[in-house]
Amino acid sequence: MRDVLTPGHPRYDAERTGFNRVVDHRPALVVVPADVADVRAAVRHAAHHDLPIAIHATGHGVTVPADGTLMIATRRLDAVSVDPVARTATVAAGVRWRQVIDAAAPHGLAPLNGSSPSVGAVSYTLGGGLGPVARTFGYAADHVRRFRLVTADGELRTVTPDEHPELFWALRGGKSGFGVVVEMEIGLVPLPRLYGGALFFDGADAARVVAGWREWLETVPEELTSSLALLRLPADAPPPLRGRFVVHVRIAYTGPAADGERLLRPLRALAAPVVDDVGEMPYRDVAAIHRDPDGPLAYHEHSALLHHLDAAGVDAFLAVAVPAAADHGLLVELRHLGGALARPPEVPSAIDRRDAAFCLMALTPAGADPHPRRLLLKAIAPWATGGVYVNFLSGPDAAADIPRAHTPPTRDRLRAIRRTYDPAGRFHRTPEEAS
């Protein structure tokens, strides 16, 4: 191990800190590997000294502090290569989606990245990967071809449908606790351009827009992926959005632009948009759809999968979500599921609960009153499946929800695989995952 940082080192704080500052990690030491050999050495060092291991990429989906661990910070493992003939990308552990998007774009190809290109590609994919064009192409994990994984014994394993098939099943949606994924090979899709962007409506029109959006979804094909968020924009947002309570509708249509324009006419007629930048765009500009912030934040994130959302469900949602977002700082989002997301891949994976119609996400700033978020989740419960989406869980109070990301049979199978490849429970995870 060539780059080892302990408390007091000038780089210790920078390397242990991630995007979501609601969790303050205090690892015993931080290893910043330059290659796979460094990762293997770090894992063996942890075993020799009986240290739990935490893996740190960008720090978006963190739930519990990695205190007292050997933290492996993967940022220097940042190699990306694209095979335009095979339509694949090979992605190292510390790569962010922006790097993959930029490498694939010159070939007219695109990865199934998240809404924010600053998110780590590997950790996002391990949780399933619900992105801007998900209804068209499915989960990111459905497109993985191969992993290279360092397991708790320090061995480097190639994981494919034929080699270690149980691990291949688990890593695609099982999230964590199996080892250090040092590299993955993913399929790319031919998507040089799309019809997409953002529609912002004034919050005063929330009831009309949310209800109309929900009805409009019944008419759209799976080539169209959409989500809707209620939020109050910050004071530093550009005018006319500055400080405004808005309904933000996100659009990504993978078909011809003329068809997208036609599909959106009923949505645009619901109310006068404050901002409408939906149009044909290069895929490399996909971040403009959701406009996720790039800088670090401190927040708690919760989710709930919904089996349907009828008119009564919309009313229940609006009654709580509008005041929560307008007056209490919450960001509340509904993502439309279905389409390719509902179809299992050819090689089965740990992603289940594919029958959900919507994913609800509630993001609460650190220090804000959690009561509105709890009221929202309670109000929407009659329409909920009981499941959650694991990539939309952040902060210590979300850790207890992690087991609900999978059905009991899937959860039991994941635990058995973890025990097989990590019998000592070396890889740091929540008590809920470990039990």
- What is the pLDDT at residue 431? 47
The pTM of this model reads 0.96
Q: Are 42 and 70 in contact (CB under 8 A)?
A: yes
DSSP 164-228: SHHHHHHHTT--SSS-EEEEEEEE-EE-SEEEEEEEEEEGGGHHHHHHHHHHHGGG--TTEEEEE
- Phi, psi (deg, nearest 5) at residue 287: -65, -20
| Torsion from C-alpha of 234, 239, 245, 247, nearest 10 degrees | -110
Domains and CATH numbers, the chain: 4-73 (3.30.43.10), 80-190 (3.30.465.10), 193-404 (3.40.462.20)
- What is the pLDDT at residue 429? 62
- What is the pLDDT at residue 332? 99
- What is the pLDDT at residue 430? 53
- What is the pLDDT at residue 435? 38
Alpha-carbon distance of 418 to 370, in angstroms, equals: 33
- pLDDT digits (tens), the chain, 435 positions: 779 999 999 999 999 999 999 999 999 999 999 999 999 999 999 999 999 999 999 999 889 899 999 999 999 999 999 999 999 999 999 999 999 999 999 999 999 999 999 999 999 999 999 999 999 999 999 999 999 999 999 999 999 999 999 999 999 999 999 999 999 999 999 999 999 999 999 999 999 999 999 999 999 999 999 999 999 999 999 999 999 999 999 999 999 999 999 999 999 999 999 999 999 999 999 999 999 998 899 999 999 999 999 999 999 999 999 999 999 999 999 999 999 999 999 999 999 999 999 999 999 999 999 999 999 999 999 999 999 999 999 999 899 999 999 999 999 999 999 999 999 999 976 544 443
